Amino acid sequence: MTSSVGFTLVQLRYFLVAAESGSMTAASAQLHIAQSAVSTAVYNLERDLQAQLFIRRRGRGLTLTPAGRRLQLQARELLGRARDIEREARGGGEDISGPVAVGCFVTLAPYYLPALFSECTHRYPGIEIDVVEAEAEQLIRSLRAGHIDVALTYDLGLSGDAEVRSETIARAPAYAIVPADHPLAGRGSVELTELAAEPLVLLDLPHSRDYFRALVAATGTEPDVRYRTQSYETVRSMVARGLGYSVLNQRPETSQTYGGGEIAALELRDGRPPLEVKLVYMDGVTQTARTRAVADQLRHIATHHNVPDWIGENQGTPMYSKRSP
């Protein structure tokens, strides 16, 4: 026989709604029950777990304690598993449905998200995908907070993070872009040292900016960052206007820019390792069937779908790694 536990799934549900809404009053309105029922459920949960889950301040709502933040992640997982068990018990195990929150690095989104929505609409019409597009650091914060189930991002800022598990699904080598009429435009490939003395148009995202600057600095030349922008397409348009060169990783199939100009892409012969495109999860959290289905589609897109050749250079089976401190 298995030993009993002191709390219920209902208590966990009320706790989660209270944590997400920030107050007992808002939680009761969302759940359509009396506020006293929510307060009592949370109080009993704290008593059973012998842990304070909220800091309660009059007029300022609820703030999760460290124990409460940990329980928030675990409760989401447990309730998700409970829904999976219920569906399987009813004979609907193959009917994968429900919400999945996916975080995507902003410059990877155009390559992956349209295909992801298309494939999931066809294969899993019951899955509801909610997307957060952001840079790597924000995606990891959202993952830790339980706002997303899985993140698709570059291997930027992940090193030394013991709380996440990552899987490489593709590799993206850096390449340079220059105006179509640049003297080196027809070369096909260059040494970065041939461009390093020219103005650099920098894709100015956290971690990305350090990565690109380091590539240029490795040539022994201090990058001449003349222009900065957080927009990938703005970088391309500025280069097409002759304002400088840039270094990127994601490569569209067209050389045309939104502004009507044209750029030339040049492979780099510097031998720098490519950036890894990764699926990232919280370590120790069991993924729901619907999250696993979405992750499978992202792997498929990386290797088989209508994504530029460079992004699907998987070089074998996916690699799993838990980052150690």
In tens, the pLDDT along 41-63 reads 999 999 989 999 999 887 778 88
- Backbone angles phi and psi of 3, in degrees to 5: -75, 150
| Structure-model confidence comparison of residues 6 and 52, the more confident one | 52
Q: What is the mean pLDDT of residues 256-265?
A: 92
C-alpha distance across the termini of the chain, in Å = 39
Using alpha carbons, select from 196, 170, 186 the residue that is nearest to residue 266: 186
244: left (phi over 0), alpha (psi -120 to 50) or beta: left
Residue in 204, 181, 315, 318 with CA at minimum distance from that of residue 261: 181
Residue 176: band (very low, low, confident or very high) from pLDDT cuts 50, 70, 90: very high
From CA 23, how far away is CA 53, in angstroms rounded?
13
Q: Which amino acid is at 292?
A: R
* Residue 186 token pair: 């027809």
Burial of 15 (0-12, 13-18, 19+ CB in 10 A): buried
Q: 89 falls in which pLDDT band (50, 70, 90)?
A: low
pLDDT at 223 over 60: yes
Give the closest residue to 46 by CA, choosing from 76, 77, 18, 21: 18
Question: Which residues are 314's β-sheet partners?
Answer: none
pLDDT on residue 145? 80
pLDDT digits (tens, 9 = 90+) for 101-140: 999 999 999 999 999 999 999 999 989 999 999 988 889 8
* DSSP for 10-25, written as a single string: HHHHHHHHHHHHSSHH
310 pLDDT tier (thresholds 50, 70, 90):
very low
Give the pLDDT score at 90.
53
Q: Which residue has the higher pLDDT, 310 or 153?
A: 153
Mean predicted lDDT score pLDDT of the chain = 85
Q: Is 11 within 8 Å of 41 (Cβ atoms)?
A: yes
**Where do we find the tokens 């609907």?**
92
Copy the structure tokens of residue 165: 């598990």
Quote the pLDDT of residue 94.
53
Question: Residue 217: what pLDDT?
Answer: 86
* Res. 250 pLDDT band, cuts 50 70 90: confident
Supply the pLDDT for residue 303.
87
Question: Per-residue pLDDT tens for 182-206?
Answer: 999 999 999 999 998 899 999 998 8
**pLDDT attached to residue 6:** 75
Q: Which of 94-98, 149-153, 209-213, 221-225 has the lowest mean pLDDT?
A: 94-98
Nearby residues of 251 by Cβ (< 8 Å), 6 or more positions away? 175, 265, 308, 310, 311
Does the pTM surpass 0.85? The reply is no
How confident is the model at residue 316, as a pLDDT? 34
231 or 312: which leads in pLDDT:
231
Beta strands in the chain (DSSP E): 54-57, 61-64, 98-105, 127-134, 150-154, 164-172, 175-179, 189-190, 199-203, 224-229, 246-248, 263-268, 275-282, 319-322
70-84, 156-170, 264-278: which is most confident: 264-278
CA distance 222 to 214: 9
Return all residues near 181 (Cβ < 8 A) that are at least 6 apart: 242
